[in-house]
Structure 1
Amino acid sequence: MRRRELLKSVLAGAALSAVGPLRGVAQAAGETVAWLTWENLAKDDYLAALVEKTGIKIEKSFIGSDDEQFAKLRAGGASSVDLITPGLDKVEFYVASNLLQPLDLAKIPNAAKLYDTFKTTKLGKKDGKTYGIPFYWGINPIVYRADLMDAEPDWSVFFEGEKYKGKLAMRDYALEGIMIAAMYLGIPKDKMFDLGDKELAEVKKALIAQKKLLRTYWTSIGDLTNLYASGEVVCAFSWVPPYYDLTARGLKMGMAKPKAGVIGWCDTIAIPAGVTGAKLDATLKVVDYLLGPDYGKKLAFGGPYAQSTSATRDALPVDQQEKIFIKDLSVMDSFVWKANPPRYTEWVALWNEVKAS
C-alpha cells in the first residue's frame, strides 16, 4: 500500500506541474492587452501566432512620438494602457513620474536571450530593477546616392562638403544634431552628453557652418526619400528605410557607418504601474512573445528591424542577418547610444539658434 500511495503522490505531483503552465495560459486567454506603440510594430500578421497560441487579444493604439506617449500617460492615460514602447533613453522620465512598474524577468523567459549589450546597459533600469526591457534596435547612418558622390562619406561631409553644398540634409532634432557635431569635433563618447560651455560653443560654431551647406532639415522620412529620388539631396543623416526603398527602385544607394561613431537607437517595452492581476499576467506573456522567435522573424523581414534578443537570429538567412546588423554584432562597438543630457534645454535652445541664424 505504501508503494501504491507513493506512486499516487508522485503522479499527482506530476499532474499538477503539467497543469500549472496550462492554467497560466487559460487565465491569459480571453484577456485584452491594450498596446500603445508605433504602427509598424503591431501589424496583425506579426501578432497572429500570439493570438492563436494564447487567446490574448491585442487592442492597438498608435503614437507619433515618444513625447506624445509620455504626455498621454502623465495626463492619466496609463489607466487605459497595458503596454507601451518608450525609447531606451526615455524610460527614466517615466520612472521618475511613477508611471511604470518593475518587470519580473522570471516571467519573461526570452529576456534571458538579450544580447550582452542590452543585458549590461544601465538605461531602462533603476535601483537594480528593470522598467523598460530593450525590445528592438537599429542604427541611424549616413545614406547617400552612390551614383552621385565620389566616395563613401563620413560626418565631415556635413561640415566640409562644399562640393555638395545645397544637396545635404540633416534631421531636425537637437539631440542627434549636436551628437553628430560632437563626433565630428572628436569629443569622446563618454563626454558627449555632458558638454561644458566651451564645447557647446564649438558645437554651435560647427553647426552654423553646417547650415550653409544644407538643402534642408528633414522631419518626414517620406519627404527625405523623395528628395533622394529626385537627386535634390545626395547625402543625409538618415534612418535606414530610404536605403532599402530606393535600392529596390533601382537607384544605386550607399550606407555609411562612420568610424567616429554611429548613432544607435533602441526602443523598450514597459508596463504601466496600474496593471495587475490576470491583466498583468497576460501582458507579461505579450512581452515574452515580442522578444521571441515568431515575432522576431516577422520583424526581421517586415521592418526590417532586429530584436534585442537572439531568439530568431540563427534561423535567419545570412543576408537578412546582415541587413539588420546582427551578422556581426561587433558593429555595436561603434554605437553611440542616445542618452539624456543634463543640459538638454540648453541643447534645444542652441539648436533653435542655429536654425534661426
Structure 2
Amino acid sequence: MAFTMTRRNLLATMAAGTAAGLMGRVGSAQAAVSEMVWATWDSNGHPEYVAPFQKETGTAIKLSYLSSEDAQFAALKTGSAADWDMINPSLNGSWRYIKAGLLKKLDMSKVPNSAKMYDVFKTTKKVQNEGGDTFAIPYLWGLNPIVYRTDKLDKEPDYTTLFDKKYAGQLAMRDYALESIAIAGLVAGVSRDKVFTMDAKELAEAKKLLITQKPLLRTYWQTIGDLTNLFATGEVACAFSWRVPYDELRAKLPMGMAKPKAGVMGWCDCFAMPANLPEDKAEVAYKFVDYLLGPTYASAIAKIGNYATTSSVIRDQLSKEEQATIFIDDMDVMKSFMWPVAPDNYSDWLKIWNEVKAS
C-alpha cells in the first residue's frame, strides 16, 4: 500500500468498489433513506472519501462544511441546523454537547469496527456522560502545526512568530477561541499544563496580546481552503494551521511545517448524531460511522489527506515511512501533544475572543 498511488488511481479503485473491508449492503429499511447530511470539516469530508459508501448503500452523503466548532455547537443548540443528520464534535469538546443534551446515545454494538480502535480512543471517557453512556465516537486525529513559506521567513517559526511585527500583514490565525487564546497564553508564559485552565489574570494577559496581534494579521481564517489559497498567492507567509496547505502546496512552493517546542496542538474529531435523529436515519448513521472506522475511509484519507483514523485497521499494511507521515509509527507521539480542552468557563473565553475581534 504505497503513498505514491495517485489520486486518479485511488479514485478509480474506490469507484470500482474493490477496497477491502467495505461493509455489506444495508437492509431495505436503511436503503429507504435517500440522503444524509454530514456536518464536518472540508478536510475530512471530500466527496471522494464518501463515494464508496454512497455506491454501496444507495444513500447520498450531502456534505455541509463547518467553519468552527463553536459555530457547530451554537447551531445545534439554537436549532438552526435542523437538517444535519451526522455531526463532528471534537474529543475534548464533546462534553459541552453531552451536557446540553444535544447528542443521541449510541449503541456501540452497531459499530463493529470500533473494536479495532486504538486503546487511547476506545477507552476514553470524554465521549461519555457520568453514567457511562457513549454519545460520540472518535474517528480521526492528528496535529495542528505552524505552516509557513520558507522563502519568506529566515528561520523556523514558533508561536512568538505569530505576534512578530516583522511579518505584519503576512500572518494568519484560526478563528477559534480555544486554540488562539491558548497560544497567546503560551506566548505570555503560561505553562502548557495550565494553558487551558487559565485564571482571570492570565486570560487578561492573553487578551492584551491578541489585541496587539490583530493589526498584524492578514486574516482570521475559517476554512482551510481559503488559507491554502492565501499561502499560494503569497498573501500569507506564516499561520497557525492544519497541515493541509503544507501537503497541497509543497510540490509547487517552498513550504515548511513547524511543531512548536512549547507544545503541538493535537486534535481528534468525533462522530455523533443529533439527539432527535429519527431511527431510520440513525441506522444508516451507524453504518456510516462503521465505514469511517473501516479500511476504505482509512486508506483514502491517509493517501489523500495525510490523516490517520483512530483505528488500527490499515496500520500494519503501511511502511514505517508511510506510518510516520500520518504519525502512527510511534503511538507515544500523542503524549507530546497538547490536547485542547474547553474549560468550564469557556463562555468567558468566547467573550474575550469576540472582544478581540471587535477591537
Given the two structures, how large is their TM-score scaled by the length of structure 1? 0.80
Structure 2: runs of 5 or more not aligned: 1-22
Cα deviation code 1:169-197 (max 9, x no counterpart) = 32233222111012223423442222212
Task: Show the 5 A alignment for 1:205-244.
Answer: 205-211=208-214, 213-244=216-247
Structure index of larger Rg: 1
- Separation (CA, whole Å) in 2 of partners of 1:212 and 1:67: 24
Rounded Cα–Cα distance in structure 1 between residues aligned with 2:82 and 2:214: 44
Is 2:93 the partner of 1:86? Answer: no
* 2:176 is the alignment partner of 1:173: yes
User: How does 1:166-315 map onto structure 2 within 5 Å?
Assistant: 166-211=169-214, 213-249=216-252, 251-275=253-277, 279-315=281-317
- Equivalent residue for 1:145? 149
Is the CA contact (8 Å cut-off) linking 1:297 and 1:316 kept in structure 2?
no
Q: Which residue of 1 aligns with 2:64?
A: 62
Q: Which amino acid aligns with 2:256?
A: G
State the Cα deviation string for residues 256-290 of structure 1 (Å, max 9, x = none). Answer: 01121111222211123345656544432222111
CA deviation string 1:307-338 (max 9, x = no partner): 11111222235444333222333332222222
Residue 219 and residue 37 in structure 1: after superposition, are their counterparts in 2 closer, same or farther (change >3 A)? closer
Displacement after TM superposition at 1:217 (Å): 3.3
- Cross-structure match for 1:3: none
Structure 1 residue 166, shift from structure 2 partner: 3.9
Whether 2:131 is the aligned partner of 1:130: answer no
Report the AA paired with residue 334 of structure 1: S
2:105–2:134 contact (8 Å) kept in structure 1: yes
* 8 Å contact kept, 1:108–1:285: yes
Which residue is 1:164 aligned to?
167
| 1:53-74 Cα shifts (integer Å, max 9, x gaps) | 5x35244241434455445544
The verdict on how the C-alpha distance between 1:120 and 1:261 changes in structure 2, with shifts beyond 3 A counting, is farther
Output the CA distance in 2 between the equivalents of 1:166 and 1:60.
36
4+ long deviations beyond 6 Å: none
User: What amino acid maps onto 1:153 in structure 2?
Assistant: P
**Alignment match, 2:18:** none
Letter in 1 for 2:148: Y
Indicate if the aligned counterparts of 2:38 and 2:87 stay in contact, CA closer than 8 A. yes
The correspondence for 1:323, drawn from 322, 325, 331, is 325
Distance across 1 between alignment mates of 2:279 and 2:357: 50
The count of aligned residue pairs is 333
- Superposition CA RMSD, Å: 3.1
Q: Distance in 1 between matches of 2:61 and 2:226?
A: 30
How has the CA–CA distance of structure 1 residues 154 and 41 changed in structure 2, closer, same or farther, with 3 Å as cutoff? closer
SS at the partner of 1:263? strand
Aligned to 2:122: 119
Report the CA distance between 1:301 and its aligned residue: 1.9
**1:77–1:182 CA distance, 2 compared to 1 (3 A):** closer
Which residue of the partner structure matches residue 348 of structure 1?
350
1:83-140 per-residue CA deviation (whole Å, 9 max, x = no partner) reads 3222323322332332322222233222122223323433222122221111112222
Question: SS at 1:130's partner residue?
Answer: coil
Residue in 1 aligned with 2:14?
none
Q: 2: CA distance between counterparts of 1:117 and 1:273?
A: 26
Which secondary structure state, in structure 1, belongs to the residue aligned with residue 268 of structure 2? strand
Structure 1 unpaired stretches of 5+:
1-21
CA deviation after TM superposition for structure 1 residue 255, in Å: 0.3
Instruction: Determine the C-alpha separation between the residues in 1 that align with 2:51 and 2:223.
Output: 30
TM-score computed with the length of structure 2 as normaliser: 0.79
